[in-house]
Amino acid sequence: EDQVTQSPEALRLQEGESSSLNCSYTVSGLRGLFWYRQDPGKGPEFLFTLYSAGEEKEKERLKATLTKKESFLHITAPKPEDSATYLCAVQAGNQGGKLIFGQGTELSVKP
């Protein structure tokens, strides 16, 4: 069964304290792995798409990487405005456009 597991469930950081969020997946034929950011009561905001192992994408303080079994979202020198829930999702080759989401990591960055 296709599955996505994110860890940790919650992460508290001090402003400037870098860290990483993990997304482990098992899927039949990965078509793409997607990272989203979600603020409370809002829809997810697209961040990155990764398609193959070894691929990396960067945007401001965020960097996403992909291996054959997991993806990492590295946050460098985070700011309070980076506080949000970060969601990882995969698209499997035999599931069409369906995204399978993990439960998310709730990030809190304190000044």
Partner 1 sequence: EAGVTQSPTHLIKTRGQQATLRCSPISGHTSVYWYQQALGLGLQFLLWYDEGEERNRGNFPPRFSGRQFPNYSSELNVNALELEDSALYLCASSLEGRGTEAFFGQGTRLTVV
What are the phi and psi torsion angles at 71 (to 5°)?
Answer: -130, 150
Q: Which two tokens stand for residue 80?
A: 């309070």
Q: Does 7 bind partner 1 (CB under 8 A)?
A: no
Q: How far is the CB of 16 from partner 1 (least distance, A)?
A: 30
Q: Does 1 bind partner 1 (CB under 8 A)?
A: no
Name residue 11's beta-bridge partners.
Answer: 107
Q: Does 59 bind partner 1 (CB under 8 A)?
A: no
Residues 27, 58: Cα–Cα separation, whole Å? 24
Indicate the residue among 16 and 29 with the shorter CB distance to partner 1.
Answer: 29
Residues 102, 8: Cα–Cα separation, whole Å? 11
Residues that bind partner 1 (CB under 8 A): 31-32, 34, 36, 41-46, 49, 51, 87, 89, 91, 95-104
